[in-house]
Amino acid sequence: MRIATYNVNGVNGRLRVLLRWLKEAAPDIACLQELKAPQEKFPEGPIRDLGYDVVWHGQKSWNGVAILSRVGNIHETRRGLPGDPDDSHSRYIEAAVNGILIACLYLPNGNPRPGPKFDYKLRWFDRLIGHAAELVACKQPVVLAGDFNVMPTELDVYKPERWLDDALFAPEARAAYATLLKQGWTDALRARHPREKIYTFWDYFRNAFGRTQACASTTFC
DNA sequence: ATGCCAGTCGTAGACTGA
């Protein structure tokens, strides 16, 4: 089964690219982040037309997460992490699909650091760690997929020394990610490429991804 | 440090988030 994750940065602004990607890559399950659309503005029709069942948690302007499946109906198990009833951000949705529990997450960016946004990031990370501990204990197949907004190691970014003050490379954020992994999760990338310099983060300014990949079809083309 | 992204409000482009 192919399970993919994609930060769309605006599900309506990026809809043509999203639909093309779903057709070409044809993931069995896809997790989307940064919908930037209220619940009623999610493009459900075009996605269902491609054969996907879908659940989503929208929000005006910011955030928003969705799970798509073309391998069986989606049974939503949770939206929002436990631990803070006042948290209004749409950043977590979870569902059972074809015998697998899928958690789609959009962890807070946390910049600037220090500041209240960074504090929120660390609190959200702690809540994720708490809930993830329960998921691990379930002893059934579980996938955490999404945008973790963390550079776990110096292998994950071009010139890590430039990011020492950034919330994504902060010691606290990297430690939180390590704590999460130690619960028993398998890092899908590092299980296969433990020592390889593979960027899991690109600066989206200055078309960093497109310039690095020397690729004719980035999301911005 | 800067800022080539998207959405909002509102009808231009400053502001915010990231």
pLDDT tens across A67-77, in order? 999 999 999 99
**pLDDT for residue A213 is more than 60:** no
Task: Summarize pLDDT for A146-184 with one digit per residue, the tens.
Answer: 999 999 999 999 889 889 889 999 999 999 999 999 999
pLDDT in tens, A88-115: 999 999 999 999 999 999 999 999 999 9
Task: Return the number of other C-beta atoms located less than 10 Å from residue A216's C-beta.
Answer: 7
Strand pairing class (A65-69; A74-79): unpaired
Which nucleotides of strand B lie within 7 A of protein CB?
1-8, 17-18
pLDDT in the model for residue A177? 96
- Whether A192 sits with its Cβ under 7 A from any strand B atom: the answer reads no
Q: Please list the helix, strand and coil fractions of chain A in percent, rounded to the nearest 5, in that order.
A: 30, 20, 50
CB of A13 lies under 7 Å from some atom of strand B: yes
pLDDT at A135: 97
pLDDT of A11 above 80: yes
